[in-house]
Structure 1
Amino acid sequence: MMKMKNWLLTGLLFMIVSTVFSQGKITGIITDGSGGSLPGANVAIKGSNTATSTDFDGKFSLDAKISTGEVVITYLGYDSKTVKFTVSNNGVADLGEIVLASNSNELSEIVVKSSVVDIAKDRKTPVAVSTIKAAEIQQKLGTQEFPEILKNTPSVYATKAGGGFGDSSIRIRGFTQNNIAVMINGMPVNDMENGSVYWSNWAGLSDVASAIQVQRGLGASKLITPSVGGTINIVTKSSDMKEGGSVSSGFGNGNYFKIQGSYNTGKLDSGLSASVLLSQTMGQGYIQGTDFEGSNYYVALGYANKSDSHNFQLTVTGAPQWHNQRSTVSTIATYQKYGSIENPNTRYNPDAGFLNGEAYNIRKNYYHKPVASFNWDYKINETTKLSSVLYASMGRGAGASAAGGIRGKSYSDLVAFRTADGLVDYDKIVAYNSGQSVYINGFTGLQTRAKVNGLYQNTFSSGSNANTAAAASTGTTGISQTSSINSHDWYGAVINLNKKLSQTLTLDFGLDARTYTGYHFTVVNDLLGGNEFYDVLQQSSLPAGNHITTTYPTSVQWNVFDKKDYEKVSFNSTGKVKWYGVFTQLEYSKNNLTAFVQGALSQQGYKREDTFVYLPTNPLSSTPYKNILGGNVKGGANYNISEKSNVFVNAGYYDKQPFFNSVYPNNKSTLNPNLTNEKITGFEAGYGFRSKYFTANVNVYNTTWNDRYLKGNALPTSATIPANTTYTEFVGLNEVHSGVEIEANSKITDKLRFNGMFSYGIWEYKGNATVNAYYQADNTPVPGFQGTTIYMDKVKVGDAAQMTASLGASYEVLTRVTVDANYNFNNKLYAGINPVNFTSPTNKGSLELPSYGLVDAGFSYKMLVGQNKDKSVNFRLNVNNLFDKVYIAESRTNTFADDFVSGTSGPTYASSGQVYKGIATNNQVFFGFGRTWNFTLRYDF
């Protein structure tokens, strides 16, 4: 009996030891069921920290410390799947092919762990949405700007604007990007003073993004965000990716060169993980004189406990860069002058030139905006989850431009300082500034400046343009390079409690707090041969003024914690914004029906400090906070008719606070008397279809934007109004944006795939508005120009194509050899307008620009290497605008071909032959890029 007990105990002990110490492998391949592998899919043993990712052929191998259990497979854009396994000690359990069902718009919860990140889920979240995954971003973006990867999604219009590195812009459903919410891992990144997004600050996002989701319309975000047109949700890579890394190098036209390296530790047994990426990019730019250099760093550290109830992620990323710009917008006639009538020089840059034999551009942007975030996700129990993100950003940098003038002419004058090929003669500017006698185009005889107190003194004045010897001898002004510093300190937190109330109801409740301080002032960078800069704009320095001799380089500030003490000119103000918000959402989900209702409330406080325009004793030198309440409410429902079809509807209302420069217009501390919240109402409905070989979405929408506030340009110069002495405000602007969107994807065979989209919008102003005009000097009204009617009813909204379409295809011609091409068409594109020009009820509306279509093409090859063929060398060639199409991407002016060349009579632009493709040649435009190409070689290990 004793022996039997001993045998039983020994056997039990052996079983326990075998269970604890057994080592086995689990293998398999993850596919989409149509012959396509899914590289980078997450494979994890349920209830443990053991996880890996599939290789480039969808294969995985996982070490198991238990003999039986379940693996959970998740992949971006596909439904997750759980598969049981049994593995013997030191054995291998081959699970074979595991097929994931397509769910093209969903970001899995493994990729997005936090409920702070509001990701729309296909056939569940009732919003119009498109998702672009990391593989497509990495493969097709190349030398394009980050927003351009979105150009083949419905109702999106992306341009390169002036063409400098990171100067691109994007519009969704006709709304500009300061009315589009941009979120990174649940953090809002739109500038808190004006809603802007400067893509040059985020040039590294394409390297670290795991997916981009474009939510058109009011979107899925629970926060109060400027999502009038939509939301761009960017999800970056997490630290617990599969162990491994990559190195890559790319080059392209314009001496473009990029090198990048990354490494991920994977999730260690301790629960720790880390991911690091570094890259460097440089080039001359496609546009003349737009040299650039940028870096990118990304560090992510993570920790998860064994039960995965606590997950921490610390992420720091930044993209310090500098780039020369094309900020001056030329007329079509100017492009023709330096090209030909039929072939304008679309690369022409009126800001570029040479100085001392080297390329020089007075317009330059340099900025460094690192962002640090700390995410904590706490699974309190099976029904309760707390997600928090604390974030901070310190932006340091500026945009350099010119101050002052010579003989009444700015550096960008079309004649005065131009060489024969249209470049700026910076050598002549330096010669004049330093006292040398020079010939200035358009003036008679040599021009020589005089000294002031023994110095060649530059100011903000441009001097006299009278073509007389007396004016020349008394001219004391010069041209300097100055920078408008726009630095900031930004701290914020978003906390969300997610509670599952029952099997069908889930409640979210959260807080959104932000504080922002913006530092705005001007410094002198280069006197360009002058001896000092004299400024009389600071009140405390009058009447003597400031005599500035210190200059500051236009170089990137890597140490953002150093608050440098600058000598300032022109202006110096601090803008402060405090934001407190609460939000809640109730979601119902049962069987085929999902519905939600969401509400949010925020208070924004605006404060302005200015001891430059105002003496410290003046109460306006430091205003109290102006607090403004805003909020939104929205709801919607999705119903899955069948496994293939679903329908959804949503509606929402935003009461949106104005931007900072609407509260305190024209760099003054006087409150705007016409302050009012903007009101946005949106309605949307959609239908979706999913099958093994074909998916499609159809959406219809209507967005009404009332009481839009817009600050305009100066009034036209007249006998009573000097040039550039006024500014305008438009009150009561209303817009209606409605349209239809179609998006489809099809797998014809395992090797051939098609994708396409079509969108048609009707984006118009509704009703009339009024314009008020004020003097810049003191914000006093311009007599006779208050409450003037602006006739805007039915005028088309400009700067975005109201009809877009694309058709693309990819074909695997040989194993791992793929060619792809895409055609993108843009129509009903209207010029940007200045409402001040619409004071007549018989105006012609918005100028329609010529439609255009572009073809992009690519070639990919992946070569498997390594002993187990688990590593690869990847080749990618992109050619954008394959047929070198010449097209106008945007126009800043609105002149028609049948308008008179001058005055109210005489020849028109059309009758005098001053037209290009039917457009008057005095319109100021930016042409799009011609043919560009890039080649990338990447080694993944």
Structure 2
Amino acid sequence: MKINFKKPTLALTLTLTTASLCYTQQKKDSVTSKSREIETLALRGITDIAKDRKTPVAVSTLKEAHIVERLGNQEFPEILNTTPSVYTTKGGGGFGDSKLNIRGFNQENIAVMVNGMPVNDMETGSVYWSNWAGLSDVTSAMQVQRGLGSSKLAIASVGGTVNVLTRAADKKRGGKISVGLGNDGYVKNLFSYNTGKSEEGWSSSFLMSRTSGNMYADGTQFEANTYYFALGYQPNKKHDFQFTITGAPQWHNQRRFAIPIGTYLKYGKNGDPNRKYNSDWGYLNGREYSMAVNYYHKPVMSLNWDWSIDDRSKINTIVYASFGRGGGTNMPSNAKVGGQDLRNFRNPETGLYDLDALYQANKNSTPEQGNIIRNVSINSHDWYGVISSFNHKINHNLNLTVGIDGRYYYGYHYQLVSDLLGASGYIDHQNLNTPHNLVSQTFQAEPSWNPFGGKINKVKDRIGYSNDGKVIWYGGFSQLEYSTSKISAFIQGSLSNQGFQRIDNFIKDGVTKSKNGEIMHTKTDFKYHMGFNVKAGLNYNINRQHNIFGNIGYYQKQPFFNAVYRSNENIVSKDLTNEKILGAELGYGFRSKLININANLYRTSWDDRYMRRTNIRQGDTNVYAEINNLNEIHQGAEIDANYQITPFLSLNGMFSIGDWYYKGNARALLFNKDSNEPVNYPDSNSNEATLYLDKVKVGESAQTTAAIGLTLKPLKDLSFDTNWRSVNNLYAKLDPHSFMNPEYNAVGALKLPSFNLFDAGLSYKFNINEKQYFTMRANVYNVFDKIYIAESNTNTKKTLKDFKDTPSATAQKQLDDYNANPNNFYQGIDISNQVIFGYGRTWAATIAFNF
């Protein structure tokens, strides 16, 4: 097989195929400089990059050119939406609030790595993409390994691993200036420059950008600034040092909660929902004012040292640190002023908050009488880590790798008053040491450029809650790899120990009791928990065209922090246990001059899972659920391919189908989000219920997806591309209220309507000389302005056909009365369901000058 990498064909920039990897078994002179960069990064040991026809995992790779060209003003994870078994959404629609799912697993259980550093939050596993606002600007390549993946670390790659490689300091000399525009006032300016490598071995790379405007939803203004600096030094062939620092101070107004379909329809026109409606904002003194503002600054620094001891041995070491400062604003859901709660201050005509009226009501009320304020929940951290591995080539076929992974994390969590909104003060009742604490100090919801400060040491200024979390992680890993021209195989394992400690400044030490009557202390002892994983895989190259592979792995994964200390109490859970994951995969690959195909089958079982389900509404109360003993099965098939029809026309596509469901029943407890007090289920005297989930579909991610893309290059420097994507078998999130009754078990999860989306793009390159040129790019997303539901927070069903058995006569009458009104449904979905609609038609355009 021969692929001409010098032609900018779709086979090179395609996200759907592993054939685009630089590790194809081709002639060395066919590898582009960009592929060499990816190879160099992999050889440096920065991260575990899967190799085509060698590493036995399902993988897709995107390179810098594809990301720059196709991303536009989309969210960074959305570039993966045409990858098999990947489903991303924009979340509520705020800048950087996107969500990523792979094979039905949400991003808390997907390992996200940047240059070999794990970035999932060490307490919750969360990935906040707004913290990485400029990551797309500095990415050289991104690889998605679906399933347990090839990483040697003991990371939470239940659904997959996303490896992001950033720009290297020794990129060739040159610079770039770009300006981008988009819908709703989107503006992006960028400047970057690379010095290239000097004769003494020094090199550097620098980038700055600013992005601002509004997102598609109303009331979602934002501003983000990105900086990146890399410094490299290679004194000789044995040693290579790379230092990088990157950060993106940002603030953005959010649409925090899913909204009932009926509300979207109420503020829509001609029977169509108002997809832009946002219930979290209004006008104060004539200016946009959001009750939900997120702000953060999370600089990450790393030093990579690669030491080639001799021709057979090398050591790769990464030392890194991260200092996150910021949080998000909200309002206490049980707050009232003058006997009125927040609902009384909403304009019935526009659906927006009447903040001027709220301001006046607060001004006329004393703190003792009650006020409605805007608070801010701080979620800051200090994080340090080191990863070091020793690689030894035992002989021509065998390689051994052993290494260590150590991390220390300290998280700061507390609430402050962000805005008194006209009140003279706010009385907080949550601090048991000061049960009637009058707070008048306010703190601005905006990011600080100083990442080392920012902690408020005065506990008296805190409201709601004030707790810290410590996580200590240390472990080791090893891998033995066997490789020939025909066969490559590996067996690897890792062992890790995590220690958790919780500090609650609002607890009266030795006096305060838990909900079960146990005495609590301000600071707990460390609770340590061991975990491990074992993986093995084999790839066999039948000939130059065909290869087959398989892998199997078993994890015992430590639970997250909130599973150790449940209900936000300083008591170690009695149900604490490791989560068990067993995964297996079979795959096939075909390579030819014109066509590349990948196909694979997979099955993953996940037992003893703990889930904290947040943002649940029960009447007027915001509650969260603690769900225990969840068991899941995720299985399916995937195929992706690309076809170079002519030198000017290429076609690519993918299809994935999954069967993801819960196995057996689970147990769920409800608690008030603001007070952490137990909340009884409707028509129940208990906050605990059995969830009848056996065979219920796992929601939040589409189980069947397909895509077809076409790229046409009528001229050397002109290209046009279009992509069709189909989403089917998308179910609502797990809602405890919907599965309490065993006779409703057969109802299953709420299935959302299928949808199809079309995107299109146009690129043109104008050359001045060999080193200087302009590039112009325009993208249109959702070309036909399709109205679709991207996710649902609830599982409400009220049609008789949904029930296996006939309910009671009273219930049947209620259902008959409800079904008699067709206005209660939208596209067959009960309009009381709380959903997020996808964006309508959006666009972005960029012009860049490279020199």
Aligned residue type for 2:363? S
Partner residue, 2:650: 753
1:419·1:425 contact (CA, 8 Å) conserved in 2? no
- Candidates 473, 488, 491, aligned match of 1:579: 473
TM-score (norm 2): 0.92
Letter in 2 for 1:36: K
Secondary structure of the structure 2 residue equivalent to 1:366: strand
Q: Find the aligned partners of 2:633 and 2:144 in 1 and give their Cα distance.
A: 21
2:433 counterpart residue number: 540
- For 1:552, the aligned partner's letter is F
What is residue 515 of structure 2 aligned with on the other side? none
Give the corresponding residue for 2:820.
Answer: 911
Counterpart code for 1:512: D
Structure 2: tracts of 5 or more residues without a match: 14-18, 513-519
Report if the CA contact (8 A) 1:830-1:846 is conserved: yes
Q: 1:151 to 1:774 in 2, by over 3 A?
A: closer
Partner of 2:522: 621
Distance change (3 Å), C-alpha of 1:604 and 1:319: same
Q: Which residue of 2 aligns with 1:510?
A: 403
Distance in 1, matches of 2:678 and 2:698, equals 30
CA contact (8 A) 1:116 1:496 kept: no
Task: Please give the alpha-carbon distance, in whole angstroms, between the structure 1 residues aligned to 2:600 and 2:623.
Answer: 44
Structure 2 partner of 1:522: 415
Whether the 8 Å contact between 2:345 and 2:358 is mirrored in structure 1 is no
Q: 1:887 aligns with which of 785, 788, 797?
A: 788
Give the 3-state SS of the residue equivalent to 2:703 in structure 1: strand
How far the C-alpha of 1:562 sits from its partner, in A, is: 1.5
CA root-mean-square deviation: 2.7
Flag the 1:406–1:775 CA change in 2: closer, same or farther, 3 A. Answer: closer
Query: Is 2:434 aligned against 1:561?
Result: no
- Offset of residue 840 of structure 1: 2.0
- Alpha-carbon separation, structure 1, partners of 2:137 and 2:363: 46
Question: Does the 8 Å CA contact 2:6/2:32 hold for their aligned counterparts?
Answer: no
Letter of the 1:110 counterpart: T
Range moving further from structure 2, 645-654 or 613-622: 613-622
Equivalence map 1:221-236=2 (5 Å): 221-236=151-166
Aligned counterparts of 2:454 and 2:788: Cα–Cα separation in 1: 44
Q: Is this contact kept in 1: 2:475–2:496, CA < 8 A? A: yes
Deviation at 1:343, TM superposition (A): 1.2
Quote how far apart the aligned CAs of 1:416 are. Answer: 4.1
Looking at structure 2, the residues matched to 638 and 103 of structure 1 have their Cα atoms a distance apart, in angstroms, of 26
Match of 1:939 in 2: 849
SS at match of 2:797: coil
Superimposed CA distance per residue, residues 592-619 of structure 1 (whole angstroms, 9 cap, x where no aligned partner): 0000001001000000111213338876
Residues 750-784 of structure 1: per-residue CA shift (max 9 Å, x gap): 11111110000000011222335678868789897
Q: Which residue of 1 aligns with 2:133?
A: 203
The alpha-carbon deviation at position 110 of structure 1 amounts to 1.4
Residues 116 and 494, structure 1, Cα contact 8 Å, conserved in 2: no
Question: Given the alignment of the two structures, is residue 848 of structure 1 paired with residue 751 of structure 2, yes or no?
Answer: yes
Match of 1:735 among 591, 608, 632: 632
SS state at 2:69 partner: helix
The Cα offsets for residues 219-263 of structure 1, whole Å up to 9 and x where unpaired, read as 111111111100011011100000001000000110000000000
Alignment of 1:600-679 (within 5 A): 600-615=494-509, 620-679=521-580
Counterparts in 2 of 1:381 and 1:162: CA distance versus 1, 3 Å: same
- Larger RCO, structure (CA 8 Å, separation 6 or more): 2
Residues 770 and 79 of structure 1, relative CA distance in 2, 3 Å threshold? closer
Alpha-carbon separation, structure 2, partners of 1:540 and 1:771:
31
Whether 2:257 is the aligned partner of 1:348: answer no
TM-score, length-normalised on structure 1? 0.83
SS for the counterpart of 1:748 is strand
Shift of residue 208, structure 1, vs aligned partner = 0.4
Q: Of the candidates 388, 396, 401, which is equivalent to residue 317 of structure 2?
A: 388
The share of aligned pairs that are identical, in percent, is: 47
1:1-40 equivalent positions in 2, closer than 5 A: 32-33=3-4, 36-37=7-8
2:373 aligned to which of 480, 493, 504 = 480
Amino acid at match of 2:336: G
* Range with bigger deviation, 786-795 or 604-613: 786-795
- 1:810 equivalent to 2:715? Answer no
What amino acid is aligned across from residue 130 of structure 2 in structure 1?
S
1:823-865 Cα distance to aligned partner (Å, 9 max, x none): 0110000111223431222211101100001000000000000
Cα distance between partner residues in 1 of 2:639 and 2:363: 62
Residues of 2 paired with 1:125 and 1:603: CA distance? 28
**What SS does the aligned partner of 2:278 have?**
coil
Change (3 A) 1:287 1:724: closer
Match of residue 331 from structure 1: 260
Whichever residue aligns with residue 795 of structure 1, its letter is: V
Residue aligned with 1:650, SS: strand
Decide which structure has the larger Cα Rg and report it: 1
Match of 1:871?
A: 772
Alignment partner for residue 382 of structure 2, among 473, 489, 497? 489
Equivalent pairs, count: 817
Partner of 1:99: 30
How far the C-alpha of 1:371 sits from its partner, in A, is 0.2
Distance, in Å, in 2 between the alignment partners of 1:922 and 1:780 is 25
User: Of 418, 428, 436, which aligns to 2:347?
Assistant: 418
Contact 1:646 1:688 in 2 (8 A): yes
Q: How does 1:427-442 map to 2 (within 5 A)?
A: 427-435=356-364
- Where do residues 156-235 of structure 1 align in structure 2 (5 Å cutoff)? 156-235=86-165
Amino acid at match of 1:593: I
Alpha carbons 1:771, 1:788 under 8 Å: kept: yes
CA distance in 1, matches of 2:572, 2:529: 13
Q: Is the 8 A contact 1:665 1:672 kept in 2?
A: yes
Which residue in the other structure is 2:211 paired with?
281
Quote the Cα distance in structure 1 between the aligned partners of 2:314 and 2:5. 37
1:824 alignment partner AA: R
Task: Answer yes or no: is the 8 Å Cα contact 1:75–1:108 preserved in 2.
Answer: no
Farther-moved stretch of structure 1 (707-716 vs 313-322):
707-716
Which one is further off, 293-302 or 422-431? 422-431
Question: How far apart are the structure 2 equivalents of 1:701 and 1:408?
Answer: 56
Distance 1:79 1:519 in 2: 47
Which residue type is aligned with residue 406 of structure 1?
V
Q: Secondary structure of the residue that 1:201 maps to in structure 2?
A: helix
SS in structure 2 of the partner of residue 148 of structure 1: helix
Give 1:469's aligned residue. none
CA–CA distance in structure 2, aligned partners of residues 37 and 651 of structure 1: 36
Displacement of 1:103 in angstroms is: 13
SS of match in other structure, 1:110 = helix
Equivalent residues in 2 for 1:813-852, closer than 5 Å: 813-843=714-744, 844-852=747-755
Q: Measure the CA separation in 2 of the matches of 1:852 and 1:918.
A: 14
**Pair 478,742 (structure 1): closer, same or farther in 2 beyond 3 Å:** same
Output the CA distance in 1 between the equivalents of 2:818 and 2:338.
31
Residue 331 of structure 2 corresponds to residue 402 of structure 1:
yes
CA distance in 1, matches of 2:609, 2:210: 41
Instruction: Give the Cα separation in 1 of the matches to 2:442 and 2:741.
Output: 48
C-alpha distance after superposition, 1:686-710 (max 9, x if no partner): 0001111110100100000001112
Post-superposition Cα deviations, 1:9-40, rounded to whole Å, max 9, x if no partner, equal: xxxxxxxxxxxxxxxxxxxxxx952771599x
Q: Retained in 2: the 8 A contact 1:77–1:107?
A: no
1:705 partnered with 2:606: yes
Report the counterpart of residue 304 of structure 1 in structure 2: 234
- Describe the shift of the 1:909–1:294 C-alpha distance in structure 2 as closer, same or farther (beyond 3 A): farther
With over 3 angstroms needed to count, the CA separation of the structure-2 counterparts of 1:478 and 1:774, relative to structure 1, is closer
User: 1-side partners of 2:772 and 2:616: how far apart?
Assistant: 64
Alpha-carbon distance in structure 1 between the residues aligned to 2:112 and 2:554: 19
**1:726 shift after superposition:** 7.5
2:482 equivalent to 1:591: no
Separation in 1, partners of 2:825, 2:616: 27
Q: Is the contact made by 2:493 and 2:534 (CA closer than 8 Å) also made in structure 1?
A: yes
Where in structure 1 are there 5+ consecutive unaligned residues?
Answer: 1-30, 42-55, 57-73, 84-97, 436-448, 450-455, 459-475
1:102 CA displacement: 13
